[in-house]
Chains A and B, each alone.
Chain A
Amino acid sequence: MNNNLKEQVLRMSGVNPLKCMRCGKCSATCPSYDEMEYHPHQIVYMVEKGEIEKLMASPSIYKCLSCFACVERCPRDVEPAKLVEAIRLAVIRQQGQNHLKAKDIPDLIEADPDLPQQALVTAFRKYTK
């Protein structure tokens, strides 16, 4: 357990995981549930326990679609998506940890010329520092 990391994640996200009443509605509503190793409700609980490093190492944090379904539907206003984002930033803000690299972009455009700019800038914002 790394308290510094936990504090950093809580500060960045502004989320209080103690508000969670473990209903699991975030995981019930998440469209990316099946792609994730750790699911939204687990992520909230793991942050509470301080298991940030485990989460940082998990591919789950790149699967969140930022669709805000969990934020909107959480009965306790916990906002799990903000935790996922904070953890992902904790990773990609480190040097050399960009999940999507600038040199990958031409390949993406080549693979599908119809891909809208919006997809690229969004992915870049989500995956890259």
Chain B
Amino acid sequence: MQKIGVFVCWCGSNIAATVDVQAVSDTLAKEPGVVYATNYQYMCSESGQNLIKDAIKQYGLTGVVICSCSPRMHEATFRKAVASVGLNPYMLEVANIREQCSWIHKDKALATEKAITLGRAAIAKVQLNAPLQAGESPVVKRALVIGGGIAGIQTALDIAEAGFEVDIVEKQPTIGGKMAQIDKTFPTLDCAACILTPKMVECSQNDKVHIYSYSEVTSVKGFVGNFTVSIKKKARYVAENKCTGCGECTTKCPMKNVPNEFNLGLDNRRAIYIPFAQAVPKVATIDPNYCNMLKNGKCGLCAKVCTAGAIDYKQQDQVIEERYGAIVVATGYNPIKLDKFEEFDYSLSKDVVTSLELERLMNAAGPTGGTLLRPSDGTHPHTIVFVQCVGSRDTSGCGKPYCSKICCMYTAKHAMLIREKYPDTEVYVFYIDVRTPGKNFDEFYRRAVEQYGVHYIKGMVGKVAPRADGKIMVQASDLLANEQLHIEADMVVLAAAIEPDKSARPLATMLTASMDTNDFFTEAHPKLRPVESPTAGIFLSGVCQGPKDIPETVSQASAAAAKVIGLLVTAKLTTNPCVAHCNELMCNGCSSCERVCPYGAITYVEKEFRMPDRTTQLRRVASVNPAVCQGCGACTVACPSGAMDLNGFSNSQIMAEVDAICQK
């Protein structure tokens, strides 16, 4: 029989207001095995922890039950406390009487009764606890960053600066991401390329950073400190080590009408291309969907003009396997498709564009060389209407329920830049709310209104109707004037909602990292652990976790890097001792457990057993590798003979909890 101490926390009034803590500790004191029970205002505080430590010493406790907040909150704290006075940390159980009791019940009698039951279940479990020793596992001193936008770049550079090897996997032919497509950045209006491209170059020059461009992660195995990742390098039909990036091939290729994705299809590129002048790596890529040589075996012009001999039509996809200690997800975002918002006639008129398209139309390296011209006829627009929240804050099922966060600011930026460059242009912005929290953000927006004379109208556009003469009729509401407006515009710019990249969902499954219903990665704690996934060793950087602007993305990227560095400097990680183990005397070698184990942690060994009649018998029994086992318990249920059990959550422990809950 254990000697158990019970400690009931008030959590200030969080628990004590709805649970009679005195009654709980008094009642639990009478439970078999309990030699000491008390309650205290804040068990997690230093004096609370000392109370526990002193009791362990004074009463020679062999088991501890803490009735407090969720074990997800403070189990680790309390385990550390009891370990400091020599008690095995796994001889402690937490009864959750805050999140799962005091906070959800109003009736004090009922809540107290439930708290007592939960305490009893924990006591019953602790009776059967056994001391466990955490194992150790080494940490591979290398990090993987998935996604090479500004988030991935910043994370990688920070990790490299701390002296660790880091690989970036980017599915496009170049790193740079969305920021490379953007013209100017708010609220300072400095040019995106001027601040991004030096960082891209740094990535290519830093010998700790390795870029796998035009590549994808195809499988992830292992666990924190020791992941094994397969990376598929897609065939680009150009030898990366030979190509000098001279660009000769991209001017000679006869396939001229390939939509240029970097300019969002506003102009064309060739079948062999370098996405943009500052691409990193600056290596050409052949688009197999358009290349005549790859499709029909005819042409071969690029190979002829390439003086470096870099063209290789026979190149194959290549799969590389690499080991990492930590993985950072930085998969970013895309604007949503607008097929459900055709009241804005995006598909009917070329002059109805998305904000990202407008970035390209205003960029000096864009299809118009930086002069704002209508895509339809190349004329100067004189009236431009911006529509905010296209698909954001939309619960109708057509769009996204969340606020995309960046649109208010970039629209103010666009409006301001247009008014500055083309003062003869009237700019209207239709908004539902203008949301500008952020340093110098509201000042920026007000500048657009007060200094640049942008017309901000509280209301929404309901219908966009292009006319044959090229004008676009915009029908909108002006809620403050209480009238319906009909504006004759030359261009309409839609602030499309942003959504996580489509590659994020399958990646999350590979990483067993959780996602919310919008396919944003969830963080381990929304306030206190915002850059970590609940899955150990997986970190989050940038918009893959939620909408963010560039300053926020960069801060989060650096924060994720700091967390990765913290992990990589650790010599050894302690492993979870709550793993499966096999009672070899009961095992009949059936392999059921081996088949259900998702980690391949179970193998079979031939072992000699001494029989009662003193003969020996060679038997095949299961053996669990505790370094690989993650403790899910699938094998324990699959085992037909009951040989397999899970430390910390044994059959008898859970059964004891069931009994305690169903008692009376």
Contact = CB atoms under 8 A, between A and B. Distances in A.
A–B contact, 8 Å CB criterion (strictly below): yes
Interface of A: 19, 21-30, 33-34, 39, 41-42, 69, 73-77
B481 to A, nearest CB: 11
A22 B396 contact: no
A24 B433 CA distance: 11
A76 B460 CA distance: 13
B569 interface: no
Interface of B: 343, 389, 393-399, 432, 458-463, 475-477, 479, 482, 484
A27 B479 contact: yes
B104 to A, nearest CB: 25
Contacts of B399: 75
A30 B393 CA distance: 21
In the complex, which of the residues B432, B459, B461, B484 has the most CB atoms of chain A within 10 Å of its own CB atom?
B484
Contact of A28 (B389, B394, B476): B476
A75 B395 contact: yes
Contacts of A74: 396
A27 B478 CA distance: 9
Given A34-B484, A75-B389, A25 B394 contact: no
B393 A21 contact: yes
Given A24-B477, A28-B459, A28-B476, 20 more contacts: A21-B393, A21-B432, A22-B432, A22-B479, A27-B479, A28-B460, A28-B461, A28-B475, A28-B477, A29-B343, A33-B477, A34-B484, A39-B484, A41-B479, A73-B462, A75-B396, A75-B399, A76-B395, A76-B396, A77-B397
Contacts of A33: 477, 484
Nearest 3 Cβ contacts at the A-B interface:
A28-B462, A29-B462, A28-B477
26 contacts: A19-B395, A22-B432, A23-B459, A24-B458, A24-B459, A24-B460, A26-B462, A27-B484, A28-B459, A28-B461, A28-B462, A28-B463, A28-B476, A30-B484, A33-B477, A33-B484, A39-B482, A39-B484, A41-B477, A41-B479, A73-B343, A74-B396, A75-B394, A76-B394, A77-B395, A77-B396
In the complex, which of the residues B461, B462, B475 has the most CB atoms of chain A within 10 Å of its own CB atom?
B462
Contacts of B396: 74-77
A95 to B, nearest CB: 34
Contact of B398 (A21, A22, A34, A75): A75
A29 B484 CA distance: 9
A26 B395 CA distance: 15
A114 to B, nearest CB: 29
A42 B397 CA distance: 24
A76 B475 CA distance: 20
Nearest to A29: B462
Given A75-B396, A75-B398, A25 B462 contact: yes
A29 B387 CA distance: 14
B463 A29 contact: yes
Contacts of B397: 77
Contacts of A26: 462
A27 B462 CA distance: 8
A73 B23 CA distance: 58
Contacts of B482: 39, 42
A87 B77 CA distance: 60
Contacts of B479: 22, 24, 27, 41
Contacts of B389: 23, 75
Nearest to A28: B462
Nearest to B392: A75
A33 B389 CA distance: 22
B395 A29 contact: no
Contact of B475 (A22, A29, A39, A41): A29
A22 to B, nearest CB: 7
A23 B459 CA distance: 6
Nearest to A76: B395
Contacts of B459: 23-24, 27-28
B247 to A, nearest CB: 45
A30 to B, nearest CB: 7
A27 B395 contact: no
Given A24-B479, A25-B477, A41-B477, A30 B398 contact: no
A30 B395 CA distance: 20
A54 B461 CA distance: 27
Given A28-B484, A30-B484, A39-B482, A23 B476 contact: no
B536 to A, nearest CB: 39
Contacts of B484: 27-28, 30, 33-34, 39
A23 B460 CA distance: 6
B343 A27 contact: no
A41 to B, nearest CB: 7
A23 B388 CA distance: 10
B485 to A, nearest CB: 8
A102 B343 CA distance: 38
A121 B236 CA distance: 66
In the complex, which of the residues A22, A24, A33, A39 has the most CB atoms of chain B within 10 Å of its own CB atom?
A24
Contacts of A34: 484
Contacts of B462: 25-30, 69, 73
A46 B267 CA distance: 49
A19 B476 CA distance: 21
Contacts of B343: 29, 73
A8 to B, nearest CB: 26
Nearest to A42: B482
Contacts of B393: 21, 75-76
Nearest to B343: A73
Contacts of A69: 462
In the complex, which of the residues B396, B399, B432 has the most CB atoms of chain A within 10 Å of its own CB atom?
B396
A31 B484 CA distance: 10
Nearest to A40: B477
A97 B477 CA distance: 32
A19 to B, nearest CB: 7
B176 to A, nearest CB: 33
B659 to A, nearest CB: 46
B519 to A, nearest CB: 20
A120 B53 CA distance: 86
B202 to A, nearest CB: 42
A107 B337 CA distance: 51
Contacts of B432: 21-24
A76 B389 CA distance: 12
A5 B393 CA distance: 30
B141 to A, nearest CB: 49
A23 B560 CA distance: 37
Contacts of A77: 395-397
A114 B40 CA distance: 87
A27 B477 contact: yes
